[in-house]
Amino acid sequence: MTTTPSLVDAGAFDLHGDKLREECGVFGIIGAADASAACALGLHALQHRGQEAVGISSFDGAEFITRRGLGHVADNFSSAESLAELKGHMAVGHVRYSTTGGSGLRNVQPLYADLASGGFAVAHNGNISNAMQLKQELVSKGAIFQSTSDTEVIIHLVATSRYPTMLDKLTDALRMVEGAYALTVMTPRGMAACRDPMGIRPLVMGKLGDAVVFASETVALDVVGAEFIRQVDPGELIEVDFDGTIRSHRPFGETKARPCIFEHVYFSRPDSIFNQRSVYESRKNIGAELARESPCEADLVVPVPDSGVPAAIGYAQESGIPFELGIIRSHYVGRTFIQPSDSARHAGVKRKHNANRLLVEGKRIVLIDDSIVRGTTSLKIVQMMRDAGAAEVHFRVASPPTGHGCYYGVDTPERSKLLAGRMDISAMQEFIQADSLAFVSIDGLYRAVGLASRDNSCPQYCDACFTGEYPTPLTDLAGRKEKEAQLSLPVNKVA
């Protein structure tokens, strides 16, 4: 094993700079007297899905009102005054971490448009993988775009649809888009919520008294006091009228579900239920699988906080090695890390985490993290344990190697910057300077979420960032590769 110069000069730093980032969370409620307040509360519970910007639109029976801002929910919607103008019994909201479209205020959702058929407000989680192609077609016909968000494509497709009803217009629009979406939509006639045909991005439905609630995760239902009814099924479009009537439509017929398996690994909060399973249990199971597949002679199992904690509990329980908090997180450091620019992302380094020196000194440590993305943070963590006197540092990862980008609404570095995109496991181990490195297998991950193994002929989840097998066409990417091949330029950036 070679050594490289230390990247850390002190024992305390932030571990969150090297994660995949869920791009958005959505919320919608209809039939509640204080719809916008419930919406703000629900978005607060979804804050982990996007910290860059937030917005709420409400409808008071006559007018749509939208307020959007940069920053956290609490920065924008913490006071009665901030919600006072968002009147009405129906509201949709959105928290955002930008990838496609950039980070300006004009891309902050919900997006709103006055259509010939009336107002239309939409909050979207996901990424439309043929948005560029559709946008070019729309622009060539005279469409004028206000934002660079792929979500605006949906609005234009609805606006230009020749079908008579809003439901048909929305269905018509969605049949033209590829990729991943979970949408909450408001029109003067009520609310619609839908998921792409494979249900790549999550969306659930609940009841709060007479009100109907939609959210990216069940934790948002819990926080507003709503009862979880069921998930919105892949390819399902649900309409809710102001009188509470709920209608379910299947505009794509029978579809094969491929929800994002990374929701189990990292994106969803552990207290959420995703795809009929407790996320916390899934993460513990992954840790247990990891312990069976890649055992280790060690004194302590140490989670990388906070996302590695459930898997570390599972690893410790299965292996019999004591679980200990060898890295302590400060809860009082400003949120400097979740920003879309590299400089902002790195600004919070060295402020948030610290080795529990007296615990780890002289011990053989098994570190458990949910994933390795670029690998730079993993190297820092290993060094932090060594600097604190650990005798050995073994690294176990609660997901398979992340070697491919995501085109479904998750911020991933280009493949050349993913550690697993350019190195095998032994080279990765050398890079992060661990005494050993192992990842849970793809079959182990599927076992952890309750399946016998990955069905290679018909996988049950989207797992493309591990396998490179994308469940939908990637039209924009293919078009860009073709254009770049014609120009003999290297492919180095994707939407």
203 contributes a contact to ligand SF4 by CB under 6 A: no
Would you count residue 260 as binding ligand SF4 (CB under 6 A)? yes
Q: Verify binding: residue 462, ligand SF4, rule CB under 6 A.
A: yes
Judged by beta carbon, residue 220 or residue 442, the one nearer ligand SF4 is 442
Segment 391 to 410, residues that bind ligand SF4, using CB under 6 A: 406, 408, 410
Catalytic hit among 24, 39, 406, 465: 24
Question: What pairing do the DSSP bridges indicate for beta strands 392-397 and 90-96?
Answer: unpaired
Residues 202, 180: Cα–Cα separation, whole Å = 10
Query: Judged by CB, which is closer to ligand SF4: 239, or 463?
Result: 463
Catalytic site residue 24?
yes
Q: Which stretch binds ligand SF4 (CB under 6 A): 51-59, 100-108, 183-191, 461-469?
A: 461-469
When asked if residue 463 is in the footprint of ligand SF4 (CB under 6 A), the reply is yes
Contact 333, 347 (CB under 8 A): no
Which of 31/126 has CB closer to ligand SF4? 126
User: Look-up: residue for tokens 């990424």?
Assistant: 127
Minimum CB distance to ligand SF4, residue 337 (Å):
20
Smallest separation (angstroms) from ligand SF4 to the CB of 12: 30
Q: Does 261 bind ligand SF4 (CB under 6 A)?
A: yes
- Asked if 373 is part of the footprint of ligand SF4 (rule: CB under 6 A), the reply reads no
Nearer to ligand SF4, 195 or 363 (CB): 195
According to the binding rule CB under 6 A, does residue 279 interact with ligand SF4? no
Nearer to ligand SF4, 236 or 463 (CB): 463
Span interacting with ligand SF4, options 56-64, 78-86, 255-263, 322-330, rule CB under 6 A:
255-263
Contact 56/41 with Cβ under 8 angstroms? Answer: no
By the 10 Å C-beta count (0-12 exposed, 13-18 middle, 19+ buried), 285 is classed as buried
200 contacts 206 by C-beta, under 8 angstroms: no
* Closer by beta carbon to ligand SF4, 181 or else 408: 408
One residue of 200, 238, 379, 428 binding ligand SF4 per CB under 6 A: 200
Min. distance of Cβ 405 from ligand SF4 in angstroms? 8
Structure tokens at 273: 């239920």
The one among 95, 193, 349, 464 contacting ligand SF4 by CB under 6 A: 464
Among 45, 445, 465, 477, binds ligand SF4 (CB under 6 A): 465
Give the count of residues interacting with ligand SF4 (CB under 6 A): 11
Tell me whether residue 87 or residue 422 sits nearer to ligand SF4 (CB atom).
422
Closest separation between CB of residue 382 and ligand SF4, Å?
Answer: 25
Q: Which residues are catalytic?
A: 24
Residues that bind ligand SF4 (CB under 6 A): 200, 260-262, 406, 408, 410, 462-465
